[in-house]
A and B are shown apart, each in its own frame.
Chain A
């Protein structure tokens, strides 16, 4: 596709429900990032993939959060037993590489998760 695509755009989940958020990066992009953006805040790093390898998951706030990118393209962020504090916009970004002169990250429009 032309850009990074995230689905769904909006998700309302009942507290305790599991959710899965999808990210389709730009074709050929090696690097993929997930961020959490709470209302009025900047994006907070969650996790980073290089192809299918999850190189950094230090930003995942708890073991209820899990991300995968099994074939090095589409990625899924899963949140188990959602809590109200999980309500945020979840942003996905991809780039050709990190390092060198090709490190610009392209962002999707995000998935707004509301836990009620």
Chain B
């Protein structure tokens, strides 16, 4: 069965600074990987996904992530943080008929 590990339950950056949220996965088959964002009292919203093809994927709100098979990683980045990026971020991995989430990383953006 697949699993996801998100390193760092809390990340704090200054507005305008680089955002890096780490995700490592394990999967017995080629994975499909996702990043979701959750704002307070809201459901999960898809940021971006990797299925096949290009390993650098771009998502909404200026986020991108790179699939690195050799490192079993799918880290999420954004060059310049916005105050509106403050939220909880979840990495997820799917195999057929199954989707598992990491524990989440809470991003705080300081003015």
Contacts and interface: CB of A to CB of B under 8 A. Distances in A.
Contacts of A48: 97-98
Interface in A20-63: 31, 33, 35, 40-45, 48, 50, 55-56
A42 B101 contact: yes
Interface stretch (B39-47, B68-76, B78-86): B39-47
A99 interface: yes
Interface residues of B, number: 25
A105 interface: yes
Contact of A42 (B42, B94, B98, B104): B104
A98 B94 contact: yes
Interface residues of A, number: 27
Interface of B: 6, 9, 32, 34, 36, 41-46, 49, 51-52, 90, 94, 96-104
Interface of A: 4, 31, 33, 35, 40-45, 48, 50, 55-56, 91, 93, 98-99, 101, 103-110
